[in-house]
């Protein structure tokens, strides 16, 4: 019973990180029907920026803030410089460009920051919390991880729902033609979408790296988990992305905890879930869309 509680809580924490990555993919997918394969690379790169700032200033929070800002800037720059020129081309062009972006960022990270594993600091203690005498399997830092993702996604949800900028983004995502005819500068809205995706990716990178170490490929697995979570949620639905992240976090935590040699099976379990979801409910759990081209 204690084990189950521990697996559940740690599943929720990792699920929140997958949710952040999933949400970043959904933000870009909704606007342009493009899966950004470079998302993990962007998150890795901004996390390196953060680690440099932390080492130089000695302040975790300075690194944290710079990472988020770098995510916004990197997302916007990528959209304007390499994605925008592909917009009137066949859809596959943009996909290839995002794969190229991933390769480029991983290469640059190796050149600038080196290929070795680096440890990334945590904001709070990583020793496990206890309720009474019972170890909960999560630390103070894990609580911060979950809270940070919840606050960010909550703020985004409120922005989308209640502000004019949010309405612009939703209108542009649902129907580009009507949005443009109504005067919405859709190209600019897409840049904002990439900036927000960059922010979420950067957040995920900073939050996950204390548990994974940081190296040029360190976000690859997290990207696959985030993608799986997004597909579970339907790729179109921000709410679905968060739920998908939580479900996947729990599933992987139970698999890692209960299965014999579970830890090494976790990526396989994620891929299995991805395949099953695509076969059984290709539209995801929360999408109104029936058919989707991938």
Partner 1 sequence: MSSDTDSATPALAVEELVAGYGGVVALNGVSISAGTSAITAVLGANGAGKTTLLRAVSGMIRPRRGRILLDGADLAGRSPEQMVRAGIAHVPEGQGVIPELTVEENLRVGMMSWPLGRSRAERTAALDEAYGRFPLLAARRRKLAASLSGGERQMLVIARALLARPRVLLLDEPSLGLAPRVMAQVMDLVVQLSREHGITIVLVEQNARGALAIADHGVVLNLGRVVAAADAATLAADVALRHHYLGF
Q: Could you say whether residue 87 binds partner 1 (CB under 8 A)?
A: no
Taking the least distance from each CB to partner 1, the nearer of 130 and 188 is: 188
Provide the minimum distance between the beta carbon of 282 and partner 1 in the complex, in angstroms, as a whole number: 20
CA torsion through residues 85, 90, 96, 98, sign:
positive
Q: Could you say whether residue 182 binds partner 1 (CB under 8 A)?
A: yes
Q: How many chain residues touch partner 1 (CB under 8 A)? A: 18
Provide the minimum distance between the beta carbon of 167 and partner 1 in the complex, in angstroms, as a whole number: 6
Among 2, 151, 178, 275, binds partner 1 (CB under 8 A): 178
Interactions with partner 1, residue window 146-175 (CB under 8 A): 164, 167-168, 170-171, 174-175
CA distance readout (Å), 106 to 24, 112, 167: 19, 10, 35
Long-range contacts of 105-111 (CB under 8 A, 24+ apart): 105/38, 105/41, 105/42, 105/44, 105/45, 106/41, 106/44, 106/216, 106/217, 107/216, 108/45, 109/41, 109/44, 109/45, 109/48, 109/216, 110/216
Among 179, 199, 250, 274, binds partner 1 (CB under 8 A): 179
Helix axes 140-162, 2-32, angle to 10 degrees: 30
Taking the least distance from each CB to partner 1, the nearer of 133 and 183 is: 183
Q: How far apart are CA 82 and CA 101, in angstroms?
A: 9
Q: Could you say whether residue 85 binds partner 1 (CB under 8 A)?
A: no
Q: Could you say whether residue 112 binds partner 1 (CB under 8 A)?
A: no
Torsion angle, CA of 97/100/102/106, rounded to 10 degrees?
-160
Q: How far apart are CA 189 and CA 287, in angstroms?
A: 22
Provide the minimum distance between the beta carbon of 86 and partner 1 in the complex, in angstroms, as a whole number: 18
DSSP lists the bridge partners of residue 134 as 131
3-class DSSP state of 115 = coil
Site string for partner 1, 183-212 (x = CB under 8 A): xxxx--------------------------
Interactions with partner 1, residue window 275-294 (CB under 8 A): 288
Only segment of 58-66, 101-109, 149-157, 176-184 that touches partner 1 (CB under 8 A): 176-184
- Are the CB atoms for 98 and 36 separated by under 8 Å? yes
Q: How many helices (H) and strands (E) does the chain have?
A: 11, 2
Taking the least distance from each CB to partner 1, the nearer of 87 and 184 is: 184
Taking the least distance from each CB to partner 1, the nearer of 288 and 291 is: 288
- Are the CB atoms for 249 and 13 separated by under 8 Å? yes
Taking the least distance from each CB to partner 1, the nearer of 164 and 264 is: 164
Among 180, 221, 265, 282, binds partner 1 (CB under 8 A): 180
Provide the minimum distance between the beta carbon of 236 and partner 1 in the complex, in angstroms, as a whole number: 9
Q: Which positions lie near partner 1, rule CB under 8 A?
A: 164, 167-168, 170-171, 174-175, 177-186, 288
């Amino acid at each position: 019973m204690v084990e189950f509680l521990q697996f559940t809580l740690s599943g929720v924490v990792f699920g929140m990180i997958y949710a952040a990555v999933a949400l970043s993919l959904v933000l870009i997918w909704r606007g342009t029907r493009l899966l950004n394969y470079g998302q993990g690379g962007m998150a890795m790169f901004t996390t390196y920026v953060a680690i440099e700032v932390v080492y130089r200033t000695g302040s975790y929070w300075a690194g944290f803030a710079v990472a988020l800002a770098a995510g916004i800037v990197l997302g916007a720059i990528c959209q304007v410089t390499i994605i925008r020129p592909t917009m009137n081309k066949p859809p596959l062009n943009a996909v290839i460009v995002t794969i190229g972006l991933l390769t480029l960022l991983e290469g640059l990270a190796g050149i600038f920051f080196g290929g070795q594993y680096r440890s990334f600091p945590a904001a709070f203690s990583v020793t496990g919390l206890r309720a009474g005498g019972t170890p909960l399997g999560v630390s103070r830092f894990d609580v911060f991880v979950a809270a940070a993702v919840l606050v960010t996604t909550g703020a985004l949800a409120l922005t989308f729902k209640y502000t004019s900028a949010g309405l612009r983004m939703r209108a542009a995502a649902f129907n580009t033609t009507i949005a443009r005819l109504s005067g919405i500068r859709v190209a600019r809205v897409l840049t904002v979408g990439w900036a927000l995706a960059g922010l979420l990716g950067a957040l995920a990178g900073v939050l996950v790296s204390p548990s994974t170490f940081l190296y040029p490929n360190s976000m690859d697995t997290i990207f696959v988990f985030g993608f799986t979570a997004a597909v579970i949620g339907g790729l179109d639905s921000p709410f679905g992305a968060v739920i998908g992240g939580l479900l996947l976090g729990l599933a992987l935590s139970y698999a890692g905890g209960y299965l014999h040699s579970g830890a090494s099976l976790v990526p396989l379990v994620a891929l299995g879930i991805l395949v099953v979801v695509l076969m059984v409910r290709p539209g995801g759990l929360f999408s109104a869309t029936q058919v989707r081209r991938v």
